[in-house]
Structure 1
Amino acid sequence: MSLQCINPQSYNNEIWYICEILQELTNSFVGARANTYLTPANSAGFAPHWDEVDAFILQLEGKKYWRVWSPADGDSALPDESSRNFTEKEMADKNLVFEGTLEEGDILYVPRGFYHSASTGKEHSLHVTISLCHN
């Protein structure tokens, strides 16, 4: 379970600036899907899933363990909608491309259509996700 706060760039100039720079560099709409997530210790925010946007995850406090899997095939590489939640059993045959713990100041890029999941250990996690929309 995670507490999600939407639109953090409206309250924080540093996040607003990051959104502005990413938008300029990528020529994509950035920031409308910026969110912060506060996840308690020994918890997970979401089951494995994919999103229809590229995402930059910036770890602000604590630690979070991430796993990222590549899309199943070329047809599902650039989805127009987010997926349903998948079980750990369903993920067993997927191609794991990243597994690691983000600590304060770390950044992780999760491309559109890549499965991902995250969980905390003995401490809480606070991270911001900044999404790039290609529509």
Structure 2
Amino acid sequence: MALATLVGSEAAEALLRACPVEPAVYRRDGSELDERITLPFMGAYIDHGLTDPAFTAAVKDGKAVHPGRFSRDGRMRPGKLRELFESGHTVNLRYLQTRVPYVAELCREIEAETGYTLFVSGFVTPPGAQGLRHHWDQFLAVVTQLHGRKRWPIWRPEVEFPVDEYLSSPTTWTAEMQERWNSTEPYAVFDLNPGDTLVIPRGWVHSPHCLPDDPDPSLHLTFALRERVPLDLAEALVHTALERPEFRAGIAPSRLTPETLPATLTDVLAQTVRHLATTDPADVADAIRAALFSEPAGQGHRPGHGR
């Protein structure tokens, strides 16, 4: 089981049965992930520019540098990312499943097991440093610590079940929230060591950082899993109407004006309800499942910057 590579067999079975509601740490002793993705391996990507500038970030104390500091004309500038790392910046290498074959294979297996799409980000943080500060994610974060140690203070959610299009951290964050997090004890604090995996449900606020007295840099991968929500299945059910000609017929511009649109929506709503009322879920389940599983990895995500 691919999920077991990240969290161990028992936790993987639990994650397949139910979506997690609280953060928790698991051990993945003997995982192939720890053998394949090492600090020297990730260092080679940093030193040799084996990344896409569009999916690379350097962040220090909550602030990301302009990509021009490490790239030019869509190409990485040799040595610049390493310089930023040496000056205390967390290096974030996003969409690793598009560049590292082993990670790509692991993601495909996880997608097959879960029906979720996902992307993977790698984070290399210098000793005693911090990338982003307080924020929450719009995905189920599975954080796999691979080298060094990192502390994860976590606060209860500010919003309920955020998604990319609604209640996302970048669009919802306020200075009042930040002040409250700065002055409030976290709900929990997790110190991750190599072999630990932290599962963070959507919306839980976190502000990870390396400890001042740790001599080693930290390396972790975040597997960002997009949980399926009822709206996903509702959209897929409505999409089955595509086979019916009446749903493909044109709507005249005169029915889309501010004055006529409410009546037009009423007609379409009634038409949709009739379609769904006559749709047997058993008849469309295979087609919907095939459509969900055929989505490319990372669909629907706007990956954030380094943590």
TM-score normalised by L of structure 1 = 0.81
If each structure's strand is expressed as a fraction of its own residues, which one has the higher value?
A: 1
For 1:70 and 1:5, locate their aligned partners in 2 and report how far apart those are by CA, in whole Å. 27
For 2:185 and 2:138, locate their aligned partners in 1 and report how far apart those are by CA, in whole Å. 18
2:153–2:186 CA contact under 8 A, matched in 1: no
Provide the residue aligned with 2:169 in structure 1.
82
For 1:15 and 1:62, locate their aligned partners in 2 and report how far apart those are by CA, in whole Å. 20
Structure 1 residue 13, shift from structure 2 partner: 3.5
Structure 1 residue 71, shift from structure 2 partner: 1.2
Provide the residue aligned with 1:16 in structure 2.
104
Provide the residue aligned with 1:99 in structure 2.
189
For 1:36 and 1:105, locate their aligned partners in 2 and report how far apart those are by CA, in whole Å. 15
1:3 to 91, 95, 101: 91
Please list every run of 5 or more consecutive structure 2 residues that lacks an aligned counterpart in the other structure.
1-59, 61-89, 228-299, 301-307
1:41–1:120 CA contact under 8 A, matched in 2: yes
Q: Radius of gyration: which is bigger?
A: 2
If each structure's helix is expressed as a fraction of its own residues, which one has the higher value?
A: 2
Structure 1 residue 37, shift from structure 2 partner: 0.7
Structure 1 residue 14, shift from structure 2 partner: 3.4
For 1:120 and 1:101, locate their aligned partners in 2 and report how far apart those are by CA, in whole Å. 9
For 1:65 and 1:77, locate their aligned partners in 2 and report how far apart those are by CA, in whole Å. 24
Provide the residue aligned with 1:120 in structure 2.
210
Aligned Cα RMSD in Å?
2.1
1:77–1:114 CA contact under 8 A, matched in 2: no
Provide the residue aligned with 1:41 in structure 2.
127
For 1:63 and 1:93, locate their aligned partners in 2 and report how far apart those are by CA, in whole Å. 23
For 2:114 and 2:208, locate their aligned partners in 1 and report how far apart those are by CA, in whole Å. 26
2:116 to 8, 12, 28: 28
AA partner of residue 203 (structure 2): G
For 2:102 and 2:154, locate their aligned partners in 1 and report how far apart those are by CA, in whole Å. 27
Give the direction of change, closer, same or farther, for the CA distance of 1:13–1:106 in structure 2 (3 Å limit).
farther
For 2:208 and 2:140, locate their aligned partners in 1 and report how far apart those are by CA, in whole Å. 16
Provide the residue aligned with 2:145 in structure 1.
59
TM-score normalised by L of structure 2 = 0.38
Structure 1 residue 12, shift from structure 2 partner: 2.9
Percent identity between the two aligned chains:
26
For 1:95 and 1:120, locate their aligned partners in 2 and report how far apart those are by CA, in whole Å. 16
Deviations 1:92-116 (A, max 9, x none): 44761x3121111211111111101
For 2:217 and 2:223, locate their aligned partners in 1 and report how far apart those are by CA, in whole Å. 20
Equivalent pairs counted in the alignment come to 128
AA partner of residue 219 (structure 2): L
Provide the residue aligned with 2:156 in structure 1.
70
For 2:130 and 2:145, locate their aligned partners in 1 and report how far apart those are by CA, in whole Å. 15
2:143–2:222 CA contact under 8 A, matched in 1: yes
